[in-house]
Amino acid sequence: MESATAGPDFQIPGVHQGLAFGDLDNDGRIDAVVAVLNGQAKIFHNTTRNGNHWILLKLTGTKSNRMAIGAKIRLTAADGSVQYNHVTTSMGYAGSSDSRVHFGLGANAVAKEIQIAWPSGIQQVLRDVAADRVVPVTEP
Ligand SMILES: [Ca+2]
């Protein structure tokens, strides 16, 4: 995101500390929250418009930790492209982000395959998962 086109709030200098990312309204667009020194937190609601697909995975561990922190995910989109991500909330100092894992899928309306390596060592594979939604996944 280029700050010159990101909206007027990105043009205002300020003293901020701590940053967190997450999809606050479950619309597939990642929003941001920043802490402001001596002020109220600022919410940057992402209103970008495009036709891209997305998927947001909400993992729940059973043998692994309940938030599934450390789970590794390999997603193959319908066009064969591959992306990797993992479950974390870590953002650095004074920030903790959404533990759900977001993938942008571009023109792909389906994730052909989602491989999950849970911290317990359990491997799980989901196939043909429809996009544009939050997908809850419980450790088998
Ligand atoms: Ca959002």
- How far does the centroid of ligand 1 lie from the alpha carbon of residue 120, in Å? 31
Ligand 1 centroid – CA 124 distance (Å): 27
CA end-to-end span of the chain, whole Å?
37
Task: List CB contacts of 4: < 8 A, sequence separation 6 or more.
Answer: none
The pair of three-digit structure tokens given for residue 139, joined into one six-digit string:
């450790």
Q: What percent of the chain has pLDDT over 70?
A: 98
- Total count of domains within the chain: 1
Domain enclosing residue 62, as ranges: 3-138
The alpha carbon of 98 and the centre of ligand 1 are apart by a number of angstroms equal to 11
Ligand 1 centroid vs 125 CA: distance in angstroms? 27
**What pLDDT is attached to residue 1?**
47
pTM > 0.85: yes or no: yes
Digit-coded pLDDT (tens) for 42-69: 999 999 888 999 999 999 999 999 999 9
Condensed to tens digits (0 to 9), the pLDDT of residues 19-48 reads 899 999 999 999 999 888 888 989 999 998
**What integer pLDDT is reported at residue 73 of this predicted model?**
98
Q: Give the CATH number for residue 84.
A: 2.60.40
Look at the alpha carbons of 103, 108, 109, 114 in this order and tell me if their dihedral is positive or negative. Answer: negative
What whole-number distance in Å separates Cα of residue 77 and Cα of residue 61?
Answer: 24
What CA–CA distance (Å, rounded) separates 100 from 112?
Answer: 19
CA of 40 to the centre of ligand 1 (A): 20
